[in-house]
Structure 1
Amino acid sequence: MLRFILSRLAIAIMVAFAVSGICFGLMFLAGDPALAIAGEGATEADLEVIRRRFGFDRPIIVQYGSWLLHVVQGDFGDSYYFGTPVVSLIAERFRATLKLGGLAILVALVLAVPLGILAATSQNRLADRIALTIGTIGQATPSFWLGLMLISLFAVELRWLPVSGSATFAHFILPSLVLGYYAAPSMLRLCRAGMIEALRSDYVRTARAKGLLPVQILGGHALRNAILPVISVAAVEFGFILGGSVVVESVFGIRGIGMLAWESISRNDFPTVQAIILIYAMLYVWLTFLADVINAWLDPRIRMN
């Protein structure tokens, strides 16, 4: 197990290093960063002052090395627009997005796993078709439209929940339902396919022959193997939820990382954009690493291979 973890950790570190280079290079894809900061009306003298101030006059490799050294120490510089350290700015906004993402992935798992089990045990019957239809609708429904519909029903008409904001737990119920419902279909289909395969396997037939209860067969044998791809996808979906929450945060007025990313891109705030992209990329890398470790712990065949 230790050898498996170390090999996956080495791959994760190499991917993280490659991603850091890409994130740094994004600053120069749109042209001269000094011109983007100063604006179209800036003179050459103004641009030279900005290049010297932010170090753009140095060789690219020197700039990257300096930037990476500061990033490793947790220093992403100061925001060009907000004038505050990027780390404190992200830390302030990240709590709301992390809470939203955690609740959303919980909603997705609560929907996907039971419906996947129901669909697998009722293959090609009515319950199977209903579960797959629920998943298809969730993937096809635009998140902004569903969010507006939920606001109209539960916040405006029934007045059960607040319309926008992030002050209390109630503010996160509707947005987490929207994001969770959108993330559930892929996990539902994987859970269904894995359960169907597991229920046809020899070890499940042996468990039935021993007279085990259906609950024991489903939970103790079939689900243990069927849940492995669901864990991997859940880790990726969690990263996607955190990174792609800008629409939902806008609809529900949540000042999280998604909203901050939109504000920074529209204002050419390069340090903040770089930091957000790098943090989200690292989340994907380490969540995938964590999913691999959990899968290897659940299934010895993975770490043996």
Structure 2
Amino acid sequence: MSRYFLIRIGQSLLAIWGIVTIVFVVTRMLGDPAVLLLPLGTPDSQIQELRSSLGLERPMIVQYLDFLRHAAVGDFGLSYQSFRPAMEVVLERMPATAILTASSLALGAVLGAATGFAAALARGRFLEFVVMCLALAGQATPVFWLGILLVLFFAVELGWFPTGGWDGPASLVLPTMALGIFVAANITRLFRSSMIETLSEDYIRTARAKGLMPRTIFMVHAARNALIPVVTMLALLAAELLGGSAVTETVFSWPGVGRLLVQAIDSKDFPVIQAGVFLIATIFVGVNFLVDLLYTLLDPRIRLGR
């Protein structure tokens, strides 16, 4: 098992290094931040002076090696906009994104598991058809469009909730619904397929032959093993949402990481972009590592390292 952990840790570090390297190269293609930070018509001498103070006049390989050396200890420099540590700016927005992620996943997991379970049990009947049509519609509907509809109806027309920003728990309802419906649609289809496949396994037939109650077969034997791909999906969705659902946060003016990165890209704030992507990559890799460990709890037949 120790060898398995070492391999997985090595793979994780390699993945994070690859991601931050790509981001470093891509951000240098966005343009010169010194030109953006200074007013129009600024003399070239002042632009060059600012570029020199930001370290942008050095060769690219020197900038890259210096970037890796500082990134290893979580230092991504100062934000070009706020002149504060970039990682501090990103972490400041993480609680809002974490709250939105937790509420959206909770709503999506409960709703998706319930509807997926019902569709699997009603296989071949009208209920399954209705559930799968709704799930397909939920997956096909763009989240930003659904978010705008929710704002127009519940916020503008009815006035039940704020249109955006953070103004107490009521502000969380609409973005949670927008993301939760998307999560539920994915979980519904996946859980239904996994349940149908699990119910055809030999050990389920054996359980039925032994005279176990259908409720016990479905809830204890089938549902537990059918949850394995669902856990993977939830983990990937959780990592994605924790990284910041940029479109949803922009639609609802949510003060999260996703909206921050959109603003940083627009203003060519390299340190904030790099710090944000590094944090997102670390979360994504870490969640996938934890999912591998969780597999062994859901299904004892799965062993680490095999």
TM-score in terms of structure 2 length? 0.90
Cα distance in 2, alignment partners of residues 51 and 155 from structure 1: 45
Determine the C-alpha separation between the residues in 2 that align with 1:47 and 1:253: 33
Q: Which amino acid aligns with 1:207?
A: A
Provide the C-alpha distance between the structure 1 equivalents of 2:59 and 2:104, rounded to a whole number of angstroms.
Answer: 44
Are the aligned partners of 2:244 and 2:257 in contact in 1 as well (CA < 8 Å)? no
Count of residues in Structure 1 that have an aligned counterpart in Structure 2:
305
Once the two structures are TM-superposed, the CA of residue 157 in structure 1 deviates from its matched residue by 4.3
Instruction: State the partner residue of 1:206.
Output: 206
| Residue 301 of structure 1: how far off its partner (Å) | 2.6
- 1:301 alignment partner in structure 2: 302
2: CA distance, partners of 1:162 / 1:106: 21
Question: How far did residue 287 of structure 1 move?
Answer: 1.6
Partner residue in 2 for 1:225: 225
Q: Does 1:49 align with 2:68?
A: no
Q: 1:5, 1:293 within 8 Å by CA — same for their partners in 2?
A: no
Q: Distance in 1 between matches of 2:280 and 2:268?
A: 19
Identity level (%): 37
Deviations 1:83-138 (A, max 9, x none): 22222222222211111111111111112111111111111211111111111111
- For 1:278, the aligned partner's letter is F
The answer on whether the counterparts of 1:119 and 1:128 sit within 8 Å (CA) in structure 2 is: yes
| 1:59 corresponding residue in structure 2 | 59
- Describe the shift of the 1:302–1:39 C-alpha distance in structure 2 as closer, same or farther (beyond 3 A): farther
Whole-angstrom CA distance in 2 between matches of 1:57 and 1:283:
32
Amino acid at match of 2:260: L
What is the letter of the counterpart of residue 135 of structure 1?
Answer: A
The whole-number CA distance in structure 2 between the counterparts of 1:5 and 1:117 is 34
What CA deviation, in whole Å up to 9, does each residue of 1:252-295 have, x standing for no partner? 23222222122212212111122222222222222222222212
Tell me the equivalent position of 2:137: 137
The answer as to whether partners of 1:27 and 1:33 remain within 8 angstroms in 2 is: no
User: Which residue does the alignment assign to 2:71?
Assistant: 71
**Does the 8 A contact of 2:101 with 2:241 survive in 1?**
yes
Q: TM-score, normalised by structure 1?
A: 0.90
Per the alignment, residue 248 of structure 2 pairs with 248
Contact 2:86–2:275 under 8 Å retained in 1: yes
Q: CA RMSD in A?
A: 2.3
Aligned CA distance change for structure 1 residues 118 and 96 (closer, same or farther; 3 Å):
same
- CA 1:186/1:286 → structure 2, altered by over 3 Å: closer, same or farther? same
Unaligned runs of 5+ in 1: none
Written as runs of structure 1 = structure 2, the 5 A alignment for 1:108-187 is 108-187=108-187
Structure 2: distance between partners of 1:243 and 1:91: 11
Return the offset for 1:34.
4.4
Report SS of the residue matched to 1:303. Answer: coil
Matches of 1:301 and 1:239 in 2, distance apart? 23
**More deviation, 199-208/181-190:** 181-190
CA deviation vs aligned residue, 1:186-213 (integer Å, no higher than 9, x gap): 2222211111111011111111122222
Specify the code of the residue in structure 2 equivalent to 1:275.
A
Q: What amino acid maps onto 2:281 in structure 1?
A: A
What letter corresponds to residue 250 of structure 1 in structure 2? T
Kept after mapping to 2: 8 A contact 1:37/1:268: no
Alignment pair present for 1:260 and 2:260: yes
CA distance in 2, matches of 1:155, 1:38: 39
**Structure 2 residue ranges without an equivalent (≥5):** none
